[in-house]
């Protein structure tokens, strides 16, 4: 079963019924220490959980018990000599493990900020590994790789396409620069294309740029509904992307601004966009017009000295027709979607997170700065 960041990139999980109440005293089915990580979210592939940590370590956990089944460290010395020279130095802010793995159900692909990217089968056997040689800024990088038609597409310095079977570079586009966010996919004339956080539409087959100069996001990923694509950050841009496999130019459908810094990716549900700022102010926006339906400071906002680090980096999720917003202080607020704000519950754990949860059945799988945690009914 394929697995990507934010499910299919949308942040929406259908056919699930996750819990709405938990705490350190109840609701935690298991917790496993997996070592330090930055913002890397986990993925679930069948009965396995895959997660990365700061030591360029890919770990595989049993989904029911949390037991570590295997782990593999991607040491610089394990690469061919010519590849070792391309391994980038670490970065200051976002760490080495801020990228979420991706899987086609047979192999798991994992990337790190030092530009190493590798493929493993589900038993832990390494298929290939390579380094792209792209240096990081002091802010680092966090865009996650995507699988599209047998290609592994990754924003690492600029946009790369690798053969998922061999790791060979198929094409690269230096025009499409780096972003913290992860691209999403869209069909252009029946052929897959990428929509990047920094406003490009790129044909997946050969890297041809079809559109540019649309939205411009530093951290979040764009979202879409049909042909409408929304870049939701401090400024919000809406564009209708034509369904044609050739270069195009379009004017924005609407543009608006929001207060506060926004690092978390948004969702769109029933024609309403839901977004959250770093200071936990929650927004509901009319997707057709850009009009603000409401804004609400959430009860997980930093409001005293002890909560000064209660920032929101985890992306907004919709699961079981409920919206989940998490912060770095270990708090999660659950909200009912709709045109009026309605809080369902607030839940608190001892360990906070900048990662985005995974929802499956009646369970939530998430990670803190050092643990993978399974929450269930």
**pLDDT one-digit tens code per residue, 252-289:** 999 999 988 999 999 999 999 999 999 999 999 999 99
Q: What percentage of the chain exceeds 70 in pLDDT? A: 93
d(CA 271, CA 364) in angstroms, rounded, equals 26
- Residue 269 inside a domain? The answer is yes
Tokens matching residue 301 = 């906002």
| pLDDT value of residue 343 | 97
For residue 116, the domain's CATH number is 2.130.10.10
Is the separation of the CB atoms in 170 and 115 below 8 Å? no
Domain with 93 in it: 12-376
d(CA 159, CA 173) in angstroms, rounded, equals 5
Residue 220 clears pLDDT 70, i.e. is over it: yes
Residue with tokens 């570590």: 68
Cα dihedral 306, 313, 116, 203, rounded to 10, equals: -170
- Residue 41 inside a domain? The answer is yes
| pLDDT value of residue 133 | 81
Strands 102-103 and 68-73, sheet pairing: unpaired
At residue 156, φ and ψ (nearest 5 deg) are: -135, 90
Residue 1 clears pLDDT 90, i.e. is over it: no
Element (H, E) at 371: strand 371-376
pLDDT category at 198 given cuts 50, 70, 90 is very high
pLDDT category at 94 given cuts 50, 70, 90 is low
At residue 242, φ and ψ (nearest 5 deg) are: -70, 150
| pLDDT value of residue 178 | 84
- Residue 247 inside a domain? The answer is yes
Element (H, E) at 84: helix 81-84
d(CA 116, CA 75) in angstroms, rounded, equals 9
- Residue 6 inside a domain? The answer is no
At residue 376, φ and ψ (nearest 5 deg) are: -150, 170
**pLDDT one-digit tens code per residue, 12-35:** 999 999 999 999 999 999 999 998
- Residue 287 inside a domain? The answer is yes
d(CA 281, CA 275) in angstroms, rounded, equals 9
Cβ density class 263-294: b for 16+ within 10 Å, e for less: bbbbbbbeebbbbbbbbbbbbbbebeebeebe
Residue 52 clears pLDDT 70, i.e. is over it: yes
Residue by residue, DSSP assigns 161-212 as EEETTT--EEEEEEEEE--SS--EEEEETTEEEEE-TTS-EEETTT--EEE-
pLDDT category at 142 given cuts 50, 70, 90 is confident
Number of H helices and E strands in the chain, helices first, is 1, 33
Domain count across the chain: 1
Query: Average of pLDDT values for 44-48?
Result: 97
Is the separation of the CB atoms in 227 and 241 below 8 Å? yes
CA-derived radius of gyration, the chain: 20
What is the CA angle 191-266-340, rounded to 5? Answer: 130
Strands 116-121 and 107-111, sheet pairing: antiparallel
Query: What is the chain's mean pLDDT, rounded?
Result: 91
Q: How many residues does the chain have?
A: 377
- Residue 2 inside a domain? The answer is no
Tokens matching residue 26 = 């109840």
Q: Which is nearest to 284 in space by CA: 250, 318, 240?
A: 318
Residue 89 clears pLDDT 80, i.e. is over it: no
pLDDT category at 310 given cuts 50, 70, 90 is confident
Cβ density class 178-217: b for 16+ within 10 Å, e for less: bbbbbbbbbebeeebbbbbbbbbbbbbbebbbbbbebbeb
d(CA 142, CA 100) in angstroms, rounded, equals 8
Q: What percentage of the chain exceeds 90 in pLDDT? A: 73
d(CA 248, CA 125) in angstroms, rounded, equals 44
In sequence order, the β-bridge partners of residue 159 are: 155, 173
**pLDDT one-digit tens code per residue, 238-259:** 999 999 999 999 999 999 999 8
- Residue 349 inside a domain? The answer is yes
Name the pTM for this structure.
Answer: 0.94
pLDDT category at 85 given cuts 50, 70, 90 is confident
- Residue 5 inside a domain? The answer is no
């Amino acid at each position: 079963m394929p697995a990507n960041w934010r499910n299919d990139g949308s942040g929406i999980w259908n056919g699930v019924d996750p819990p709405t109440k938990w705490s350190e005293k109840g609701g935690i089915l298991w917790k496993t220490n997996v070592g330090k990580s930055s913002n890397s979210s986990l993925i679930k592939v069948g009965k396995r959980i895959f997660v990365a940590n700061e030591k360029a370590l890919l770990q595989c956990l049993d989904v029911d018990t949390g037991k570590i089944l295997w782990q593999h460290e991607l040491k610089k010395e394990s690469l061919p000599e010519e590849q070792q020279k391309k391994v980038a130095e670490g970065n200051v802010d976002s760490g080495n493990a801020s990228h979420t793995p991706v899987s086609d159900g047979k192999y798991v692909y994992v990337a790190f900020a030092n530009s190493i990217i590798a493929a493993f089968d589900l038993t832990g056997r390494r298929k290939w590994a390579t380094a792209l040689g792209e240096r990081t800024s002091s802010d680092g990088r966090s865009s996650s790789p995507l699988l599209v038609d047998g290609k592994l597409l990754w924003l690492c310095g600029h946009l790369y396409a690798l053969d998922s079977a061999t790791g060979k570079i198929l094409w690269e586009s230096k025009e499409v620069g780096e972003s913290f966010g992860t691209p999403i996919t869209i069909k252009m004339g029946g052929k897959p294309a990428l929509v990047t956080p920094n406003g490009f539409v790129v044909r997946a087959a050969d890297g041809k740029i079809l559109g540019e100069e649309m939205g411009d996001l530093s951290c979040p990923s764009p979202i879409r509904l049909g042909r409408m694509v929304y870049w939701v950050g401090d400024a919000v841009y809406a564009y209708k992307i034509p369904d044609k496999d050739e270069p195009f130019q379009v004017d924005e459908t609407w543009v608006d601004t929001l207060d506060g810094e926004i690092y978390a990716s948004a969702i769109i549900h029933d024609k309403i966009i839901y977004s959250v700022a770093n200071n936990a102010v929650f927004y509901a926006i009319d997707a057709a017009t850009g009009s603000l339906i409401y804004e609400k400071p959430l009860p997980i906002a930093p409001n005293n000295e002890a909560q000064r680090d209660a920032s929101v980096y985890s992306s907004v999720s919709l699961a079981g027709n409920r919206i989940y917003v998490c912060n770095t202080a270990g708090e999660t607020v659950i909200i009912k979607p709709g045109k009026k704000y309605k809080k369902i519950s607030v839940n608190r754990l001892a360990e906070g997170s900048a990662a985005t949860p995974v929802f499956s059945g009646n369970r939530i799988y998430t990670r803190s700065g050092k643990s993978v945690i399974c929450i269930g009914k």
